[in-house]
């Protein structure tokens, strides 16, 4: 802990350009995911309505997506709307849905410019038709891009994803497509929404909350977790680089001892 704090303190004196040069391009997280939390509290602190926080949050998404694509992060999943978020007041939910459409309208050109391939996880069929139409358009128009995969988690819940996978597996077993004895972690992963994504290496959560809120439960098994006090609308490229540097400074043991890992 003290070590981490010292490292972050050192970074405080560096410029963003200097921080960028410290990132090891060969050890970037293969798949990074962000729980973008704190929009409402950011707005409340400023005496603004919650939606003002979501609006500012969308600008931060632009900044972070651009930075990740330029760094060469292979895959980025952003938790934009959870299955539980449907329980929020209807006006906030509909604002978030219209913001999603606005985001896709505005950002499709960035995705094309940065060679980003757009994808989603979660139940897109739950979303309003206008948002769905833009999702389909963004997917179709970026399908052949070979750069970063930008994956939005929309109406996403980890438990539901696992249950849906279990149902499909049960159906495939019933029809004889797979044998119960053949079911292993790899096969199971192939039934999840993230089946085409690389292994999840780093999860960042903003706003000081230290919980996973039903995000990527299966995929998180051996991911590194990074929590920051910054509210999402205040999160910057600097914060992103510091999180990645923190990740690169960790020893991932996957159950082994440090000695076994050697040098």
Rank residues 141 and 209 by Cβ distance to ligand IPE and give the closer one. 209
Residue 38 binds ligand IPE (CB under 6 A) = yes
CB 85, min distance to Mg ion, A:
9
- Nearest Cα residue to 250 out of 215, 217, 226, 216: 226
Least gap, CB of 98 to ligand IPE (angstroms): 13
Give least dist CB 188 to Mg ion, A: 30
Which of 32, 37, 148, 239 lies at the binding interface for Mg ion (CB under 5 A)?
Answer: 37
Q: Of 79, 103, 118, 247, which lies in the binding site for ligand IPE, with binding defined by CB under 6 A?
A: 79
What is the Cα–Cα distance from 78 to 197, expressed in whole angstroms?
A: 13
Q: Does 104 bind ligand IPE (CB under 6 A)?
A: no
Could you say which of 81, 103, 226, 235 contacts ligand IPE (CB under 6 A)?
A: 81
Q: Which stretch binds Mg ion (CB under 5 A): 5-13, 32-40, 55-63, 163-171?
A: 32-40
Give the footprint of ligand IPE on residues 210-249 (CB under 6 A).
211, 213, 232
The residue at minimum Cβ distance from ligand IPE is 40
By beta-carbon proximity to Mg ion, the closer residue of 29 and 38 is 38
Closest-CB residue for Mg ion? Answer: 37
Secondary structure string (H, E, C) spanning the chain: CHHHHHHHHHHHCCCHHHHHHHCCHHHCCCEEEEECCCHHHHHHHCCCCHHHHHHHHHHHHHHHHHHHHHHCCCEEEEEEEEHHHHHCCHHHHHHHHHHHHHHHHHHHHHHHHCCCEEEEECCHHHCCHHHHHHHHHHHHHHCCCCCCEEEEEEEECHHHHHHHHHHHHHHHHHCCCCCHHHCCHHHHHCCCCCCCCCCCCEEEECCCCCCCCCCCCCHHHHCEEEECCCCHHHCCHHHHHHHHHHHHCCCCCCCCCHHHHCC
Interaction residues for ligand IPE, span 135-154 (CB under 6 A): none
Quote the CA–CA distance of 229 and 233 in Å, as a whole number. Answer: 12
Nearer to Mg ion, 189 or 214 (CB): 214
Which residue is catalytic, options 13, 24, 39, 85?
Answer: 85
Active site (annotated) includes residue 37: yes
Taking CB under 6 A as the rule, does residue 82 contact ligand IPE?
yes
Catalytic residues: 37, 85
Residues at the site binding ligand IPE, with contacts judged by CB under 6 A: 35-41, 79-82, 84-85, 96, 207, 209, 211, 213, 232
């Amino acid at each position: 802990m003290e070590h981490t704090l010292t490292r972050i303190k050192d970074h405080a004196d560096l410029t963003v350009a200097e921080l960028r040069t410290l990132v090891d391009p060969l050890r970037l997280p293969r798949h990074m995911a962000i729980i973008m939390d704190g929009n409402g509290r950011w707005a409340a602190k400023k005496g603004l309505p919650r939606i003002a926080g979501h609006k500012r949050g969308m600008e931060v998404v632009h900044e972070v997506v651009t930075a990740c694509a330029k760094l060469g992060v292979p895959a980025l999943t952003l938790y934009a709307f959870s299955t539980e978020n449907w329980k929020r007041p209807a006006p906030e939910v509909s604002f978030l849905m219209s913001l999603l459409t606005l985001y896709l309208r505005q950002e499709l050109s960035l995705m094309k410019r940065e060679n980003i391939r757009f994808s989603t996880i979660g139940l897109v069929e739950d979303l309003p038709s206008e948002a769905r139409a833009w999702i389909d358009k963004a997917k179709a128009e970026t399908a052949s891009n070979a750069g970063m995969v930008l994956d939005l988690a929309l109406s996403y819940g980890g438990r539901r994803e696992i249950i849906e996978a279990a149902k499909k597996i049960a159906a495939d077993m019933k029809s004889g497509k797979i044998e119960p004895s053949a079911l292993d972690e790899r096969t199971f992963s192939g039934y999840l929404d993230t089946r085409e994504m690389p292994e999840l290496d780093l999860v960042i959560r903003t706003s000081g909350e230290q919980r996973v809120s039903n995000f990527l439960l299966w995929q998180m098994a051996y991911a590194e977790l990074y929590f920051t006090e910054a509210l999402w609308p205040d999160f910057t490229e600097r914060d992103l680089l510091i999180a990645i540097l923190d990740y690169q400074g960790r020893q991932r043991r996957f159950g082994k001892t440090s000695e076994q890992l050697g040098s």
